[in-house]
């Protein structure tokens, strides 16, 4: 399996996050403004939730691999909350060279020195297994959130 560069992976996931925000916003307009259907919120909301979790996971991996500062990492994570801000952040990290074209902890790269680096290095060494573990993790978090459900307003 060919592993995409950190920058390519981040660009794909940041763009997907923005696209699913668009689907969710369109769904909310259909539900709350035109009052025609809830389908857009159901489908767009689920897709956005799954991609949001993937974006968070990607940001954490890049935080570890690219040695982002806590400020950069928190900005990356916070950029997923307002619609479409991940696109701005993706351009910022490219402009400021905060995400490289190579995995620091990948094959032939630096040796991991911490537990998070060892976990990421293992995933990068076996990308197919790493992808499966990431997908199972995303599915597990999604399932837990579906069971917990939305917050209930206090009455």
What is the tens place of the pLDDT at every residue in 107-146?
Answer: 899 999 999 999 999 999 999 999 999 999 999 999 999 8
Res 151 pLDDT > 80: no
pLDDT score of 155: 62
What 3 state SS string does 99-121 have?
A: CCCCCCCCCCCCCCCCHHHHHHH
DSSP 125-146: HSHHHHHHHHHHHHHHHHHHHH
- What distance in Å separates the CA atoms of residue 144 and residue 8, rounded to the nearest whole number? 29
What is the tens place of the pLDDT at every residue in 50-61?
Answer: 999 999 999 999
Burial 97-107 (b: 16+ CB within 10 A, else e): ebbeeebbbbe
Res 152 pLDDT > 80: no
What is the tens place of the pLDDT at every residue in 61-82?
Answer: 999 999 999 999 999 999 999 9
Q: Judging by beta carbons within 10 Å of its beta carbon (0-12, 13-18, 19+), is residue 82 exposed, middle or buried? A: exposed
What is the tens place of the pLDDT at every residue in 9-52?
Answer: 999 999 999 999 999 999 999 999 999 999 999 999 999 999 99
Q: Judging by beta carbons within 10 Å of its beta carbon (0-12, 13-18, 19+), is residue 77 exposed, middle or buried? A: middle
pLDDT score of 46: 93
**Mean pLDDT of the 103-109 span:** 93
**Residue that the structure tokens 């923005």 belong to:** 18
Radius of gyration of the chain (CA): 17
């Amino acid at each position: 399996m060919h592993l995409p560069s950190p920058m390519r992976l981040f660009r794909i996931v940041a763009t997907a996050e923005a696209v699913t925000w668009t689907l969710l916003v369109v769904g909310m307009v259909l539900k709350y403004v035109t009052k025609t259907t809830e389908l857009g919120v159901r489908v767009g909301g689920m897709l956005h939730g799954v991609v949001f979790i993937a974006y968070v996971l990607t940001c954490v991996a890049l935080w570890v691999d690219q040695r982002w500062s806590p400020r950069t990492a928190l900005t990356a994570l916070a950029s997923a909350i307002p619609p479409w801000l991940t696109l701005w952040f993706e351009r910022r990290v490219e402009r400021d060279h905060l995400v490289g074209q190579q995995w620091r902890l990948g094959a032939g790269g630096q040796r991991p020195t911490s537990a998070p680096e060892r976990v990421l290095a293992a995933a990068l060494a076996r990308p197919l297994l790493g992808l499966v573990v990431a997908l199972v993790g995303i599915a597990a978090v999604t399932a837990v959130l579906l069971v917990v459900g939305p917050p209930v307003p206090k009455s």
